[in-house]
Amino acid sequence: MKKKLDSPIIDDTQPHQINAPSYKGTGIKPQAPYVNDYGIVIGDSKYASENSPLENWSVDTDPEIMAGDEWIHPTNDIGWNTTENRELLEAKRTPQPPFMHPDKDVSIDTD
């Protein structure tokens, strides 16, 4: 069972990742960090938790312990910074109309 945590999400962005993509206009809403079944905070961009298998790795640690969706945050994961995933977001973004001044004809005498 995932436990939700408070997270400041500003204008459809995760403000704590400098190169994080913006979800604005994509229909995707950023989700807050959560605590997984192992007591590890997922999606806080700190990537180090006291209880994490990564912080307590030994020759006896089975790597499979960190396999599965509960280790990946749906909207705040380093994978969103890849070119392919950024293209997926861009494809979902609502096209913006060209900028216009509704009360001024800026195209007059341009042809």
Q: What is the DSSP string of 7-37?
A: ---BTTB-TT-TTPPP-TTTTPPP---EE-T
Residue 83 three-state SS: helix
Give the per-residue pLDDT at 93.
84
For residue 69, give the nearest of 106, 31, 102 by alpha carbon.
Answer: 31
Dmax of the chain from CA atoms? 77
Give the per-residue pLDDT at 32.
84
Give the per-residue pLDDT at 60.
92
Give the per-residue pLDDT at 75.
86
Each of the 111 residues of the chain gets a pLDDT tens digit; together they read: 566 665 556 655 555 566 777 788 888 888 888 898 888 888 887 777 888 888 889 999 899 988 888 888 888 888 888 889 888 888 988 777 776 666 766 666 766
Please, where are the H alpha helices in the chain? 83-92
Give the per-residue pLDDT at 30.
84
Q: What is this structure's pTM?
A: 0.63
Contact call for residues 43 and 34 (beta carbons, < 8 A): yes
A 10 A CB-CB count for 73 gives 23
Give the per-residue pLDDT at 97.
73
User: Hunting for tokens 């890849």 — which residue is that?
Assistant: 82
How many angstroms separate the CA atoms of 31 and 73, rounded?
8
